[in-house]
Structure 1
Amino acid sequence: MSHSPRKSALFVVFLTVFIDLLGFGIVLPLLPIYAREFTLDRSGVILGLLMASFSAMQFLFAPFWGRLSDRIGRRPVLMIGLSGSVVFYTIFGAATAWRSLFWMFVSRIGAGIAGATIPTAQAYIADVTSPENRARGMALIGAAFGLGFTLGPLLAATALISAGSAGLSPWPGYTAAGLSAVALILASFKLPESLDPNHVRRARSWYHFDALRNAVTVPTVFALLMTSFVSVLAFAKFESILAFLMHEPVDEGGFGMPLVTVLIVFALLGLVHALMQGVVRSLSGRMSEGSLATLGATICVGSYVLLGEATRHGHFGSLMAGMVLVGVGAAFLPPCLQAMISRRTDPAKQGGIMGVAQSLSALARILGHAIAFPLFYLGAAVPFWAGTGLMVVALTLILANAKRGVDFAAAAE
């Protein structure tokens, strides 16, 4: 693939991931409103299930899509995912208009299945980038995360303002569906296949157990997967509790902010994260992935300490500073860890192992969403102290494994 088609393909892949994450950015801050409007349950169980359903489906289906992309190619799998996004974001909008909890669950479960093609996008980037440019390519995924978390909450805020006191509007879902349709059309005409036919794996096993065994047998790859799991678990608790913490009354441990303000803060955090991807891409040419990951984990440790202290003392300015630092530190970790994993993996197995990585990330999000609120009720700052401990573990794993691994190409020589 020549340089120009590669740039076009990277743009389409970036757009694909951005669309997937846009829906998550729209829904995450709005879920408390859905729970209040769609059900009489006040225990939080329904809300927790609704929040976890998206990541649960990614956990189950990411390895399947990754292995399937190793078998039939990246392009067909990405096209299937985009088609699913069109359908299920449309259902998301309709469920909001109908005030239907059942169809909201259907939309989130379906969107989780369709959005589980992110590891295939990562494998696509690995296919079309050199090992030296791998981190820069993977940073596009991080930029898509950041933009999704920036524009998603802004769409949600627009819906709240236009809907008045009800706070519900179908248009964010319909907008996401329209964007998915545009990406699908663009991919149909502009996205070439990236997988070398000689690397297509024709194993009979279609799920992730072989890929997990492959990951365990590669020195340091499993440790890097665990590093990713731990860091995502810390961030999932943060993203899960943030809106709740800011919106809760002061006398209940929160900051008492209006919901629109909460959404704008979510957008600010996403913007910081997206802008930092440019910094990561720039530094990746001058620093190793291990050094960048170490820097990001160190910043995250400090930011969670600051968030804990800000929450304990009710200092909003320190909370904002801590949130910005989380956005800065977290921007370094996924692209650098993914680049190290892909460089140390057989290209014919990258789709499967990237699927394992995405599944572990989804599992971390499920657990993070599940434990964030019980931790909050133990003490408003407890989720951030737990995040500090998790990031210390992640930093230790990075320091222990970043320099021990060998690139697959070098090992094969």
Structure 2
Amino acid sequence: MNKGNLLTLFGIVFLDLMGIGIMIPVLAPLMLDAGGTLVPLDWTTADRSIALGFLVAMYPLAQFFGAPILGALSDRYGRKKLLITSLIGTFIGYLLFATGLLTQQLWLLYFSRALDGFTGGNVGVANSAIADISTNENRAKNFGLIGMAFGLGFIFGPFIGGKLADPTLVSWFSAATPFWFAALLSLGSLTLLTFLFKETLQTKAHRPIHPFMGFRHIAKAFQMQNLKIIFLVIFLHTLGFCFYAQFMPVFLVQKFSMNTAAIGTLFAFIGLWIALTQGLFLRVITRFAKPQKILRFSLLGLSSLLFLIPFAPTVFLLYALQPFMALAEGLTFPSTTTVVSELSLKEEQGEAMGVTQSLRALGQALPSLIAGFLVTINQNLAILTGAAIILLAWAIFVICYRTHTRSEPEGRA
């Protein structure tokens, strides 16, 4: 295994997730500010919540169409070329978003998120590269290390985003400042990739490419006998967790009147525990338990904690619940990815990760479209809906999942 490649992928995912994390504390206060000029002044709180939901949804919706195409192209032309393409799109997307904020052009915000989403398959391609260089013995640890990069990105991203958007710290800071910084981060990732990353794809595969490959991936997910249950669990887990993650800032604004900096600090705290879980605890736990066994406990724990979070009466108790929630999520995410990789043929790793990315993109998009309406009914409803969906994922996994070896589509010997 090339440790240089592994560290480079770690850096790419860390910088990418840091860029995404920067957005978390900024968007909700920005869109819900009744005195702001970004949206029409006569819009109600419900209108603003729904508009926020659609803005958040633009990235995963576009990724649903773009990620499978990038995954297939990475199987054909190699991981490095497609990672470079993806990062260039991310860089342009951040520049356009910052420009939209400066010029108060709401349509440009939507367009920039769609552009970034369509080209933003770098995490999916990075997962394929991890699968390329991993063996059965180190696969879980490698995906755990990349999961740690996710967690670290969510430590520094929300914290820095909250600070860079706070003009009380520096007079020229504004809502656009975090996105200029995120553009610089994407350039840093591009530099790492260009000079340090060595191509990992050994056997190229020419798979048909179609603009609606995302829908084909959804259909294919349920034709692969050994993978269809874990694919369903991945979709439901992503769907449920994103009801929490995407609209937790709205909950924090409405219940605790948190500002951008306070939201960023809370998400940084969550990211710290996710990073500790995936970088430290997971490596210890996988010595004694396989990912399949971990999921039987982590999914149930995650659902239970999400049920409790909306009823925390104080900020102190809200903080007290987050390490346990982060532990459950930090074990669940890399474990599901590891199971998919273990059950996929070597030459199908890119396609399997593309299907996984499509399911996750769809799971990320739907809560944004639905939760914007739910929070207009009750501020707790989005998070409780997410908890119920993850409970369903746990039940399906416990009842239906059976241990398999390698993936074979139906009808294939």
- Taking structure 2 as the reference length, the TM-score comes to 0.88
Q: 2:107: which partner in 1?
A: 102
Q: 1:295: which partner in 2?
A: 297
Give the 3 Å change call, closer, same or farther, for CA 175–316 of structure 1 in structure 2. Answer: closer
Q: Distance in 1 between matches of 2:250 and 2:207?
A: 46
Contact kept, 8 Å, 1:224 with 1:397, in 2: the verdict is no
Pairs aligned (count): 397
Paired amino acid for 1:8: G
Q: Distance in 2 between matches of 1:295 and 1:53?
A: 33
Deviations 1:308-346 (A, max 9, x none): 432xxx343332233332211111112111111111112
Contact kept, 8 Å, 1:304 with 1:322, in 2: the verdict is no
Q: Paired residue for 1:203, among 207, 222, 226?
A: 207
Q: 1:106 aligns to what SS in structure 2?
A: helix
Give the 3 Å change call, closer, same or farther, for CA 366–205 of structure 1 in structure 2. Answer: closer
Q: 1:32: which partner in 2?
A: 28
Q: 2:89 aligns to what SS in structure 1?
A: helix
Q: 2:188: which partner in 1?
A: 182
Deviations 1:275-315 (A, max 9, x none): 111211232233101112222112212202321432xxx34
Give the 3 Å change call, closer, same or farther, for CA 257–62 of structure 1 in structure 2. Answer: same
Give the 3 Å change call, closer, same or farther, for CA 146–189 of structure 1 in structure 2. Answer: same
Contact kept, 8 Å, 1:208 with 1:352, in 2: the verdict is no
Paired amino acid for 1:15: G
Contact kept, 8 Å, 1:224 with 1:401, in 2: the verdict is no
Q: 1:355: which partner in 2?
A: 354
Q: 2:75: which partner in 1?
A: 70
Paired amino acid for 1:10: L
Contact kept, 8 Å, 1:16 with 1:82, in 2: the verdict is no
Deviations 1:258-291 (A, max 9, x none): 3321221111111111111121123223310111
Q: 2:166 aligns to what SS in structure 1?
A: helix
Contact kept, 8 Å, 2:38 with 2:106, in 1: the verdict is yes
Higher helix fraction: Structure 1 or Structure 2? 1
Give the 3 Å change call, closer, same or farther, for CA 350–97 of structure 1 in structure 2. Answer: same
Contact kept, 8 Å, 1:218 with 1:344, in 2: the verdict is no
Q: 2:404 aligns to what SS in structure 1?
A: coil
Q: 2:331 aligns to what SS in structure 1?
A: helix
Residues 45-64 of structure 1 aligned to structure 2 (within 5 Å): 45-64=50-69
Q: 1:220: which partner in 2?
A: 226
Contact kept, 8 Å, 1:14 with 1:141, in 2: the verdict is yes
Q: Paired residue for 1:22, among 18, 21, 24?
A: 18
**Shift of residue 211, structure 1, vs aligned partner:** 4.9
**Shift of residue 163, structure 1, vs aligned partner:** 5.9
Contact kept, 8 Å, 1:55 with 1:366, in 2: the verdict is yes
Q: Distance in 2 between matches of 1:304 and 1:31?
A: 22
Deviations 1:52-71 (A, max 9, x none): 11111111111111111111
Q: Distance in 2 between matches of 1:37 and 1:166?
A: 18
| Residue 314 of structure 2 corresponds to residue 309 of structure 1 | no
Q: 1:307 aligns to what SS in structure 2?
A: helix
Q: Paired residue for 1:125, among 130, 134, 146?
A: 130
Q: Distance in 2 between matches of 1:92 and 1:140?
A: 30
Paired amino acid for 1:380: Q
Paired amino acid for 2:303: V
Q: 1:236: which partner in 2?
A: 242
Q: Distance in 2 between matches of 1:37 and 1:145?
A: 33
| Residue 154 of structure 2 corresponds to residue 154 of structure 1 | no
Q: 1:131 aligns to what SS in structure 2?
A: coil
Q: 2:138 aligns to what SS in structure 1?
A: helix
Give the 3 Å change call, closer, same or farther, for CA 106–396 of structure 1 in structure 2. Answer: same
Residues 259-338 of structure 1 aligned to structure 2 (within 5 Å): 259-278=260-279, 279-310=281-312, 314-338=313-337
Q: 1:341: which partner in 2?
A: 340
Contact kept, 8 Å, 1:59 with 1:362, in 2: the verdict is yes
**Shift of residue 140, structure 1, vs aligned partner:** 2.8
Identity, % of aligned pairs? 26
Q: 1:111: which partner in 2?
A: 116
Q: Distance in 2 between matches of 1:213 and 1:377?
A: 33
In the alignment, structure 2 segments of 5+ residues that lack a partner are none
Q: 1:385: which partner in 2?
A: 384
In the alignment, structure 1 segments of 5+ residues that lack a partner are 249-253
Give the 3 Å change call, closer, same or farther, for CA 192–391 of structure 1 in structure 2. Answer: same
**Shift of residue 169, structure 1, vs aligned partner:** 3.9
Q: Distance in 1 between matches of 2:97 and 2:168?
A: 16
Contact kept, 8 Å, 1:150 with 1:268, in 2: the verdict is yes
Deviations 1:208-267 (A, max 9, x none): 56655654343231111110111111111111221111111xxxxx12333321221111
Give the 3 Å change call, closer, same or farther, for CA 391–263 of structure 1 in structure 2. Answer: same
Q: 2:256 aligns to what SS in structure 1?
A: coil
Q: 1:38 aligns to what SS in structure 2?
A: coil
Q: 1:139: which partner in 2?
A: 144
Deviates more, 1:160-169 or 1:182-191: 160-169
Q: 2:244 aligns to what SS in structure 1?
A: helix
Q: 2:7: which partner in 1?
A: 11
Q: Distance in 2 between matches of 1:229 and 1:267?
A: 25
Q: Distance in 2 between matches of 1:111 and 1:208?
A: 17
Q: Distance in 2 between matches of 1:156 and 1:277?
A: 23
Paired amino acid for 1:26: I
**Shift of residue 183, structure 1, vs aligned partner:** 1.9
| Residue 251 of structure 2 corresponds to residue 245 of structure 1 | yes
Q: Distance in 1 between matches of 2:216 and 2:108?
A: 35
Q: 1:390 aligns to what SS in structure 2?
A: helix
Give the 3 Å change call, closer, same or farther, for CA 384–97 of structure 1 in structure 2. Answer: closer
Deviations 1:351-408 (A, max 9, x none): 1221121111111111112222433343333333323321221112222355422245
